[in-house]
Amino acid sequence: MRINKFLAQCGVASRRACDKLIEDGKVRVNGRPAEPGMNVEEGDRVEVGGRPVSVKKNEYYLLHKPKGYLSTVSDDKGRKTVMDILGSGVGRVYPVGRLDYDSEGLLILTTDGELAQHLTHPSNEVPKTYLVKVEGRLTESDLNPVRSGIEIEGGYVTKKCRAHIVETNREYTKVEMVLREGKNREIRKMFAAIGKEVSLLKRTKVGELSLRGLERGAFRKLTPAEVEYLKSL
């Protein structure tokens, strides 16, 4: 098995991040520095940062993230993270992708670095559904620049996406969006580009996996069928 895949299955990190660990000389196999692309066999002793690692059964969780929590394992400023919700009863899992501090909704956490990379790598274009609430009234035609790709802060032009209005009145408009990329604060920047401020942003689905029945701040283990579904996306 390739060394980066082995490390990902050990829950060390994604394959790409494991490649960086190898390049930095932090991985050793049978006492010698690992080389990119090398294979490891059963019985090989693999160490990362001086600590032995081995393939273990991965854990998978689905969390309904509230606003006011960071999608990280820790924070040097002492702010609350999603790990504070999970508590000490859950092992060392890692968030897949990000939901920013002011956003809420579906967040997957796992020890499976390979699945994390699969769900987040841009080439796989895994669809993610969001409910977006903006101030004021919008029409379907107002969303055309958002759907077709729009230049946002920093000069980046977003990819095409699906977007339609689910509710509108004088005070606000709710829009359902399906994106296949995940730039930092991308949705907020897309609406800023058409002069609208996002007041609520909630991820409701990854593929067809949804938050159904899961209250804000609650979490549960994914079923084996759900894990296999995510791997198939």
**Interacting residues of 163 by C-beta distance below 8 A, sequence separation 6+:** 143, 146, 147, 175, 176, 177, 178
Q: For residue 158, give the DSSP letter.
A: P
**DSSP per residue over 73-93, as a string?**
S--TT---BHHHHH-TTS-S-
Catalytic: 100?
Answer: yes
> Which position among 19, 75, 100, 102 bears the catalytic label?
100
CA distance 11 to 110: 8
Query: Beta strand pairing status for 51-53 and 209-210?
Result: unpaired
Check if the beta carbon of residue 165 is closer than 8 Å to that of residue 143.
yes
CA distance 165 to 140: 7
CA distance 199 to 144: 20
Burial class for 211, CB neighbours closer than 10 Å (0-12, 13-18, 19+):
buried
Active-site residue set: 100
